[in-house]
């Protein structure tokens, strides 16, 4: 998980959020169920595209790049079931993989837009470790299952790639080759890269 910055609110949301919210709240107040369409305007492609941009096309929680095999879920940081008035609030929307979205459910986890995850997590190899004293980090890790076996395997592979690149950088006597390797390392630890929080952590150790 990395710290994220909220991008500009999509025009379709700024123009329509108040109306969409009013319709949903009025029906709830009457004891009626809003239609599927009325409840899901947040899935509009302009909104989803904006979320892809600010999350670097990764899950906001586990940092997996999943869009080549799935569509991703528009995630409500504060669940819309408990706060329907936030259903179309731009600051309450992000992008998550299906697994993290389902695991989170109605529970509270770290909001990477409001809290820097680096203050709450560290790493031992490919395993995410909540820092001592951070109950929210512990709940986030266990709720989202950030150490599920598939994620550990993927992160382990990325970590090993980084290790071998750093070793190649150390051993190379060619300045041209060293520059090329350094560029690759830089790309692998950038915010655009998969599991960049872990990769940056280990890059600081290795280098």
18 and 101 both lie in a single domain: yes
Tell me what pLDDT residue 68 has: 65
For the chain, how many structural domains are there in total?
2
Tell me what pLDDT residue 47 has: 95
20 and 86 both lie in a single domain: yes
Return the beta strands (E) in the chain as ranges.
73-76, 93-96, 121-124, 127-130
| 170 falls within a domain | yes
Of 142, 133, 147, 135, nearest in space to 198 by CA: 147
Judged against a pLDDT cut of 70, whether residue 11 lies above it is answered with: yes
For residue range 32-47, list pLDDT tens digits in order.
999 999 999 999 999 9
For residue range 65-119, list pLDDT tens digits in order.
977 667 788 999 998 888 999 999 999 999 999 999 999 988 989 999 999 999 9
- Nearest-10 crossing angle of helices 149-171, 196-206: 40
For residue range 132-163, list pLDDT tens digits in order.
999 999 999 999 999 999 999 999 999 999 99
Tell me what pLDDT residue 58 has: 94
The residue from 37, 72, 105 where one domain ends is 105
pTM, rounded to two decimals: 0.89
16 and 86 both lie in a single domain: yes
Domain that holds residue 89: 11-105
Which residues have CB under 8 Å from 56's CB, separation 6+? 191, 192
Tell me what pLDDT residue 72 has: 80
| 155 falls within a domain | yes
94 and 171 both lie in a single domain: no
| 140 falls within a domain | no
| 160 falls within a domain | yes
The residue from 105, 127, 162 where one domain ends is 105
Percent of the chain past pLDDT 70, that is, above it, reads 99
Please check whether residue 154 is in contact with residue 113, taking contact to mean a CB–CB distance below 8 angstroms: no
| 137 falls within a domain | no
The residue from 76, 105, 134 where one domain ends is 105
């Amino acid at each position: 998980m990395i710290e994220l910055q909220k991008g500009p609110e999509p025009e379709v949301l700024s123009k329509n959020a108040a109306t969409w919210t009013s319709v949903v709240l009025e029906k709830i107040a009457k004891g009626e169920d809003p239609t599927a369409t009325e409840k899901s305007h947040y899935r509009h492609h302009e909104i989803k595209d904006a979320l892809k941009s600010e999350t670097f096309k990764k899950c906001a929680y586990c940092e997996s790049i999943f869009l080549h095999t799935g569509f991703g879920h528009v995630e409500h940081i504060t669940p819309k079931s408990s706060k329907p008035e936030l259903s179309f609030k731009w600051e309450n929307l992000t992008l998550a993989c299906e697994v993290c979205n389902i695991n989170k459910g109605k529970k509270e986890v770290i909001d990477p837009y409001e809290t820097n995850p680096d203050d709450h997590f560290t790493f031992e190899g490919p395993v995410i470790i909540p820092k001592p004293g951070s109950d929210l980090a512990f709940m986030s890790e266990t709720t989202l299952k950030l150490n599920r076996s598939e994620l550990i395997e993927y992160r382990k592979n990325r970590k090993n790639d980084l290790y071998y690149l750093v070793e190649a950088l150390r051993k190379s006597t060619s300045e041209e080759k060293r520059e090329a390797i350094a560029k690759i390392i830089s790309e692998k630890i950038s915010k655009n890269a998969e599991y960049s929080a872990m990769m940056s952590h280990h890059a600081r150790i290795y280098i």
